[in-house]
Amino acid sequence: MELTAMTAVTVFCGASPGRRPGHLRTAAELGRALAGAGLKLVHGGARTGLMGAVADGALTAGGAVTGVVPRGMAAVRERSVSSSVRVTS
């Protein structure tokens, strides 16, 4: 079996800011670290909370972010993405 290098990481976390102030900061640091490692972020497409912070961190560090968003939620969720995928369920 041939192993290939990882190119993307999927992160699904809360659309709320978390229970502690450091959660948002840590989420943004994760996004920046993924971008710094050259990894694409795939996330739930939320523009708020921890998911938004991870995505914003990746985007500010020059990373690529894909949001996977149910069609019915697309209007309220997309922002922190460089591309998006809309799914039916």
Considering the chain, what percentage of its residues have pLDDT values greater than 70? 79
Across the range 81-89, mean pLDDT stands at 57
Q: How many CB atoms lie within 10 A of CB 9?
A: 16
Q: How far is CA 60 from CA 2, 70, 85, in A?
A: 34, 25, 21
pTM listed for this prediction: 0.79
Q: Of 53, 3, 61, which Cα lies nearest the Cα of 32? A: 61
d(CA 65, CA 56): 9
Considering the chain, what percentage of its residues have pLDDT values greater than 90? 49
Structure token digits, residue 8: 């993307």
